[in-house]
Chains A and B, each alone.
Chain A
Amino acid sequence: EEQLLESGGGLVQPGGSLRLSCAASGFILSSYAMSWVRQAPGKGLEWVSSICVGGDTTHYAESVKGRFTISRDNSKNTLYLYMNSLRADDTAVYYCAKNLGTGCYATHGYWGQGTLVTVSS
Chain B
Amino acid sequence: DIVMTQTPDSLAVSLGERATINCKSSQSVFYSSNNRNYLTWYQQLPGQPPKLLIYWATTRESGVPDRFSGSGSGTDFTLTISSLQAEDVAIYYCQQHYSIPFTFGPGTKVDIK
**Residue interface bits A47-71, CB-to-B below 8 A is 1, else 0:** 1001000000001011000000000
A44: CB under 8 A from chain B? yes
Count A-side interface residues using an 8 Å CB cutoff.
21
For residue B50, which residues in chain A have a CB less than 8 angstroms away from its CB?
37, 45, 95, 108, 111
B13: CB under 8 A from chain A? no
Query: Smallest CB-CB separation from B38: which chain A residue?
Result: A105
Q: Which of B40, B49, B98, B101 is the one whose CB lies under 8 Å from A62?
A: B101
For residue B60, which residues in chain A have a CB less than 8 angstroms away from its CB?
none
Asked whether B61 lies within 8 Å of A109 as measured between CB atoms, the reply is yes
Q: Which of B38, B55, B100, B104 is the one whose CB lies under 8 Å from A45?
A: B104
For residue A114, which residues in chain B have a CB less than 8 angstroms away from its CB?
49
Chain A interface (Cβ < 8 Å from any Cβ of B)? 37, 44-47, 50, 59, 61-62, 95, 100, 105-114
**9 A-B pairs in the complex with CB atoms less than 8 angstroms apart:** A45-B104, A45-B107, A95-B49, A105-B38, A107-B52, A107-B95, A108-B42, A108-B52, A110-B52
